[in-house]
Amino acid sequence: MPAYSWVDNFYEIDPAYPPDPGTPLEAIDLVARDRNGDGELDPGSRDTIDGVRFSHAWVGDTVTVEYPDGTQDTITGVTFYLNDGRRLFSPTDGSTLKDATFVSSTYVTTSQPVQNQQMELVICFTAGTRIAVPGGERPVEELEVGDLVVTLDHGPQPVRWIGRRKVAGRGDLAPIRFAPGAIGNARELRVSPQHRMLVTGWRAELHFGEAEVLAPARGLVDGDRVHVAPCEEVEYVHLLFDRHEIIFAEGVPSESFYPGEFTLSHDRAIAGELAVLFPELFRRRGGVHGVWMPARRILTVREAVVLAEGAARAAA
């Protein structure tokens, strides 16, 4: 099987031997590499993080952090013991790491291989989703590189890269279904769990100080009009532009592919193509977040749940 690589978020911390409370934690982007393509990050398979092999992977560690606005978040993830002495923690619960200060941690006592699916939570549309283009809409799977897509902030913009992937639609990769009318969509809308929708209004302003935020679909699940929709197989489609954009899917504003946290490649050919188009994506440390600014504030799943619960109470 071919090797594949992707970029993920890390804190340099060992939850089993934590720093003092209040210690600053910097979110960094590093490349993880599954050398034999077996779907696991395993120290016995010469897999690497940031080009360095590791001896242990502690799946299930948690880190609680505090953000500059005083809010706190507990993140579940995996801690890698790299052979160069670094200890790197990466989320497995869909969180996006941000610069913060350390509060507390918990740790597991058994090391095990990491399923790539635990770390690689894709951001994309399902095939069949209609995307707004000048003069109308087109199914996302019919778009080609160079086609113009309507964006909220910058008008029509050309698609720079398209990624496609078929996966079993279960577990962490089961799509989220928005019933017609759930968020202003005229038709059913299905996206990957980590795909972020633009949420606007006074609740966003009240809770997060901004009138527009990007909320992961998984955090908007209400068990009624928004729910997890497992299936045997689902085709996910990524749309990448020159910058992170807000585009329209089934009439609803949502994000384009943002390469800051997740999969950059599934084989060497794709990695090579993106490296030519966007060499800044493959810088060793902090390159993606330094160059690719998110189109709006990005909420964690936990923060999105706050919005969903508030909307549910108002509708009751």
Residues of the chain above pLDDT 70, percent: 80
- Digit-coded pLDDT (tens) for 97-118: 889 999 999 999 988 877 654 4
Residue position matching structure tokens 């989703």: 129
Q: Is the dihedral of CA 47, 53, 57, 61 positive or negative?
A: negative
Predicted local distance difference test score (pLDDT) of residue 258: 78
Mean pLDDT for the stretch of residues 205-218: 90
pLDDT above 90 covers a percentage of the chain that reads 51
241-297: per-residue pLDDT in tens?
A: 989 999 999 999 999 987 654 444 334 444 555 556 666 555 443 444 444 678 999
User: Which residue do the tokens 């997060």 mark?
Assistant: 208
Tokens representing 223 are 């068990």
> Would the pTM count as exceeding 0.85?
no
CATH architecture of 125-258+294-315: Beta Complex (2.170)
| pLDDT value of position 263 | 45
User: Quick one: tokens of 263?
Assistant: 């999969």
Amino acid at 269: A
Q: Write the DSSP symbol of residue 25.
A: E
- Please give, one letter per residue, the 3-state secondary structure of 127-195: CCCEEEECCEEEEHHHCCCCCEEEECCCEEEECCEEEEEEEEECHHHCCEEECCCCCCCCCCEEECCCC
Domain locations along the chain: 4-119, 125-258+294-315
